[in-house]
Amino acid sequence: MTSTPRIVEVRRNILKRNDEIARALRERFRSAGVFVVSLVSSPGSGKTAFLEKTLTLLRQDHRPAALVGDLATDNDAVRLARSQAPVRQITTGTLCHLEAAMVEEALAEWNLKELDYLFIENVGNLVCPSSWDLGEDLRVVLLSVTEGEDKPLKYPTIFNTSDVVLITKTDLADATGFDRQAALANIERVRPGMQVLEVSTRTGQGFESWQSFLTEQKKRRATPGPL
C-alpha cells in the first residue's frame, strides 16, 4: 500500500475543488432564497418514500424541487415525480456519493428563484457522502428502525457531519424490537445535543413536526445575524 500518500493528496485536491464549488452554490442558493436540504442514509432506510411524501405535502403551500443521486436507474426520480414537483436524476455510475459539481450541472436549467425548497437525495451510503459538501443548508441523516440502534457508533462521521437525525419507519419499531432509548443514547454519544425527529412515512406520524421544523429552519436562515 505504498501509494496511499499519493492517493490522499489527490483526494485532498479534489475535495478542495469540491468545497469551492459548494461555497459558490451556497451563495447562489441564499441569494435565490431557496432552502436546501440534503438527505443521507444507508440504502433502504426510506429516503425516497420520505421525500416523495415531503414534496407532496410541501407543494400545497410552497415550491419544492428535488435532485436525486443513484449509481444506476432513474427509478427514484420516477417515484419522486409523482409528487408533481420538479425532479432531476443524477446518475453517478460507480461513484458512491454526489459531488457539488454534479449538483451544479443538474441545476443548470432551473431558475432557483422559482423554488422555496430544494432537496438533494444522496446515494444510499453511510460512508462516502460524509466529506462532500453540496452547498446545502441542512444535512439530514436518516436512520430506520430496521437498521439497528448501533449505526451512529459504527458510522460516526456521517452522523457528525449531519445536522439532524431522522428516525424513519417508526411504524415498524415494535415488529423489529427497536430500542429507542439505546438509539437516542448512541446518537447523543456521537454528537451531543443533536436534534432528532421521528417519522413514519407509511402512517404519516411525525410529518407535522418535520414540516414545522423545515419552515422554522428556513426562516432562521433568512434572518441576518448568527445562527
Given the rule CB under 8 A, which residues bind a second copy? Answer: 1, 3-4, 6-7, 10-11, 13-14, 17, 42-45, 70-73, 75-76, 94, 96, 99, 101, 123-128, 130, 144, 146-148, 150-151, 153-157, 169, 172, 175-176
R_g (Cα) of the chain, nearest Å: 17
Which CA distances in Å does 200 have to 97, 128, 130? Answer: 25, 26, 25
Nearer to a second copy, 88 or 151 (CB): 151
Instruction: Specify the amino acid at residue 52.
Output: E
Tell me how far, at minimum, the Cβ of 2 lies from a second copy, in Å: 8
Nearer to a second copy, 15 or 196 (CB): 15
Helix, strand, coil fractions of the chain, as percent rounded to 5 = 45, 15, 35
Nearer to a second copy, 51 or 214 (CB): 51
Nearer to a second copy, 13 or 181 (CB): 13
Tell me how far, at minimum, the Cβ of 207 lies from a second copy, in Å: 19
Tell me how far, at minimum, the Cβ of 58 lies from a second copy, in Å: 23
Helices in 42-179 by DSSP H: which ranges? Answer: 47-58, 75-81, 100-106, 151-154, 156-160, 173-176
Pairing of strands 117-121, 195-198: unpaired
